[in-house]
Amino acid sequence: MTKADDAPEAQTLEDLICFAHYAATLNFQRLYRPLLAELGLTYPQFLAMMVLWETEKVTMRDLADRLQLESNTLTPLVKKLEQAGLALRTRNRRDERVLDIALTDKGRALESYGRAIARSVAAASGESVTERHAIVRRINRMRDSLKAAAKPEL
């Protein structure tokens, strides 16, 4: 699991990468919360809207994959977006087992403000655009490694 050239680390709270990630996530959410409240969105709903702003329409399965959420978590989230008039759920015409989620005009109208919020929070990180892209790549690589390590062996 560890690289051979890695020196042993002291295991204090501040040494734990999981804690650094957890604390950063808490602070991101604290920063987002009042800004998203103006849109009537929670942070997970905002993430779903980000996907819809990118794609206009997505299947429930694809949305679950993009957000890395289980359907029992995602279904109530999407229902609330639909109740707010931001998204519309419909059965796919080619395969009724598939649920399509589409952006509504009301949801589309929030895009510029939602993206401005994301830019504002990114700027508050204190990192340059180049540094943020590098951090995202490293975190995604770590995410993929952790996901692979957590898979049970067959």
Domains of the chain (ranges; CATH) run: 15-146 (1.10.10.10)
Average pLDDT over residues 81-85: 97
Specify the length of the chain in residues: 154
Transcribe 54-92 into DSSP letters.
HHSEEEHHHHHHHHT--HHHHHHHHHHHHHTTSEEEEE-
pLDDT of residue 30: 95
pLDDT of residue 71: 86
Average pLDDT over residues 97-106: 95
Gap between the Cα atoms of 29 and 37, Å rounded: 12
pLDDT for 85 beyond 80: yes
The radius of gyration of the chain's CA atoms, rounded to the nearest angstrom, is 18
Average pLDDT over residues 44-54: 97
pLDDT for 152 beyond 90: no
Nearest to 96 by CA among 70, 60, 67: 60
The whole-model pTM stands at 0.86
pLDDT of residue 7: 59
